[in-house]
Amino acid sequence: MKLITHNMLTSKCLKGVLTGYPLAINATNIKINEVDFNPDFISRIIPKLDWEVLWKAADSIGHSEGLPQTIEQNYDDDKEFLKKAHRVLLEVEVEEGYLICPESGRQFPITKGIPNMLLTEAEVQ
Amino acid sequence: MSKRPEHQAPPELFYNEDEARKYTQNSRIIDIQAQMTERCLELLLLPEDTPCLLLDIGCGSGLSGSVLEESGHMWIGLDISPSMLDVALERETEGDLILADMGEGVPFKAGSFDGAVSVSALQWLFNADKKSHQPIKRLYKFFSSLYASLSRSARAVFQFYPENESQLDLVTSQAMKAGFYGGVVIDYPNSAKAKKFFLVLMTGGAAPLPQALGTEESDNSLQVKYARREASKAARGKPLKNTRAWLLEKKERRRKQGKETKPDTKYTGRKRSGRF
Ligand SMILES: C[S@@+](CC[C@H](N)C(=O)[O-])C[C@H]1O[C@@H](n2cnc3c(N)ncnc32)[C@H](O)[C@@H]1O
């Protein structure tokens, strides 16, 4: 699971859960996977992100180094910044671990980098 | 005749290791998935030369995702079958993968995606594979959560295999109820082999449906009409009066009431040609 995905993912499909966001991460194995840098994509995606959630998620798994806690206004021109954002969003991957619903405490296992968001029949809304 | 996959087993069982392997080995499957994804992308009408974040629903082995990548987009895929997702891992696609059942809702926050595609997966929602499954409810939950997860003016395009007209009605009416505009585009409607169904859903208000491939102008206008009608009032689950679907339903009701009814034929509900 990449952190861009974590930034979008919720547990709101659980019965009784309202927003289910952000999910806490407990990572036991993290991998770095190189991806081609596309500055256009990164600048386009930034306004859609919850930056604070991204920063905290990166920090909680030990990968916030060099990542600013808030975004500067002219971030599109700052190549160094875009590269760091690229690395954190697309290259850092949680391989093993689990996600935790902030409202219910329900855990969703991550295996081989894939979060298992399947619900039991009783959990479906 | 081979039975439709949806009638054989639930998707997480049907798409087992053997079935999943076909998605790396069978060149026909590979070509068809790629072609249909390209058509979905075309119908998605994304802004030109802009790398987007897309959702691939029923992403499976990531054959569809590879096409999205080649067009410069990043994607997140969800699928219910672990074996299919294993193949996607093996193929080292660039997309990120989630194991999830679309019928339980799309688990993303509002406004996440610039668009969504789905290739050969939607027909699975017509099935009730568990006691608790109600297809209408699952379709509605799916479409309403998908609607929320899309950014403003984004589209979702599904290539799928409906079994009959009532499924077409069901799927469009639930999508409209969830807030989408749009309808079904049928490419090559007159060819048994090449005929393909695409559900084109729009979030930003009504717009004309794209032109279908392999049709005359006049054929296509029929489909667009179908879409407007759906958009106009979700058809309250009932087919439009005097269409073939409406006639078939009416005849079925009469039969159930024990009334005398002519058998259904391919001529049922056809326009009289004016000539004798
Ligand atoms: C014909 S395959 C298409 C695969 C994919 N487009 C590809 O490129 O490999 C259909 C896929 O839909 C998935 N599917 C079926 N029902 C589903 C559901 N309820 N939720 C999520 N995925 C589902 C299946 O697991 C399967 O991988």
Q: State in Å: Cα B101 to ligand 1 middle.
A: 10
Can you give the pLDDT at residue A119? 97
State which amino acid sits at residue B126.
Answer: F
CA distances from A84 to A55, A70, A75, A90, B19 (A): 11, 13, 11, 10, 40
**Site from A117, A119, A120, A123 to mutate, B interface, most B CB atoms within 10 angstroms:** A117
Task: Give the distance from residue B126's alpha carbon to the nearest chain A alpha carbon, in angstroms.
Answer: 18
Q: Checking phi first, is residue A62 left (phi over 0); if not, alpha (psi -120 to 50) or beta?
A: left
Q: Which domain holds residue A27?
A: 3-123
Q: State in Å: Cα A65 to ligand 1 middle.
A: 38
Mean pLDDT, residues B97-121 taken together:
98
Closest Cα to atom 4 of ligand 1: B60
Closest residue on chain B to A11 (Cα)? B107
Closest residue on chain B to A92 (Cα)? B96
Model confidence at B272: pLDDT above 80: no
Mean pLDDT, residues A33-57 taken together:
96
State which amino acid sits at residue B186.
Answer: I
Can you give the pLDDT at residue B228? 45
Extents of the domains making up chain B: 5-215, 220-276
- The pLDDT confidence band at residue B248, using thresholds 50, 70 and 90, is confident
Task: Give the distance from residue A66's alpha carbon to the nearest chain B alpha carbon, in angstroms.
Answer: 24
**B196-228, pLDDT tens digit by residue?**
999 999 998 777 888 889 876 555 544 544 454
**Site from B46, B108, B113 to mutate, A interface, most A CB atoms within 10 angstroms:** B108
Count of domains forming chain A: 1
Which of B4, B6, B15 is the best mutation target for the ligand 1 pocket, counting ligand atoms within 8 Å of the beta carbon and taking the most? B15
Can you give the pLDDT at residue A101? 98
* Predicted model pTM: 0.86
Q: State in Å: Cα B80 to ligand 1 middle.
A: 7
Model confidence at B275: pLDDT above 90: no
Determine the CATH number of domain B5-215: 3.40.50.150
- The pLDDT confidence band at residue A73, using thresholds 50, 70 and 90, is confident
Which ranges constitute the DSSP H helices of chain B?
A: 11-14, 17-25, 27-44, 63-70, 82-90, 135-149, 165-177, 217-233, 244-256
Whether B51 and A119 lie within 8 Å, measured CB to CB:
no
Decide whether any atom of ligand 1 lies within 6 Å of the B60 Cβ.
yes
Closest Cα to atom 10 of ligand 1: B121
Closest residue on chain A to B76 (Cα)? A5
**Interatomic CA distance for residues A65 and A68, integer angstroms:** 8
Identify the CATH number of the domain in which residue A116 sits.
2.20.25.10
